[in-house]
Amino acid sequence: MSDLITQFLPFAFGLALTGAVSGVMAGLLGIGGGIIMVPSMVFAYQLLGYNPDVIMHVAVGTSLAVIIPTGMRSARSHGKRGAVDGGIVRLWAPWIVAASLLGGLMAGLYSAAALKIIFGVMALFIALNMALPVQRRLMETLAGVPMVNRISAAVIGYISALMGVGGGSLTVPTLTAFGTPIHTAVGTSSTLGVILAVPAVVGFVISGWNATGTPPLSIGLSTSPHSF
């Protein structure tokens, strides 16, 4: 018993620390924290020896599940300050729901290596986008194109579902490029992150219902935090 406690205490502490940092980032930047949680959980699952073919999927699905409560608290906080644009939410929500659900349902079709490549490439793009206004310039060019808001919402929903993030890293610069004030973009992104995460988790549960080698108490490709 003591050996088991010794083995899991550092793991539990690491997850708690990761959750705290992710929560702060969700509230401050509206990004859901998934960009931190996913690689952290993959590393933890590798140490514990779970099936390498599904640990990336489980990390992504679990990250999306965690985003739901953290995103709700963040969205509520931003909403109280009037920083959530209801018009944008109503415009983007149907497309984000459909695309993120599709992403979750299709997750099982991607190998672990493919999901890692998607996550890595998009993480590099997000980092580049923070340093250089890559996405902003593109969005400003396309701002007058009909359906561009809906297409943007769908693309962000699908990619974010496969990455296990709330979409804020893409949503915030997209909204600001469309002329939304930064504080409103962050608050609105938090709300959209919850709308994105719920159908994505449903998709991961369905697509991974018969998955084997997942951590204890997993439901499809999403793990309950209580399993730790």
pLDDT of the residue at 223: 55
- Which residue bears the tokens 């010794």? 6
Distance CA 120, CA 203 (A): 22
pLDDT of the residue at 51: 83
pLDDT of the residue at 227: 41
pLDDT of the residue at 36: 79
Q: Which of 224, 207, 205, 204 is nearest to 216 (CA)?
A: 224
DSSP SS3 for 223: strand
pLDDT along the chain (228 residues), means of 10: 57 70 63 75 81 88 87 87 92 95 91 91 81 66 72 93 86 84 90 93 87 71 48
pLDDT tens for residues 165-195?
888 888 888 888 888 888 899 899 989 999 9
For the chain, the structural domain boundaries read: 2-227
Spatial neighbors of 196 by CB under 8 A, at least 6 apart, are: 96, 97, 100, 156, 157, 160, 161, 166, 167
pLDDT of the residue at 197: 93
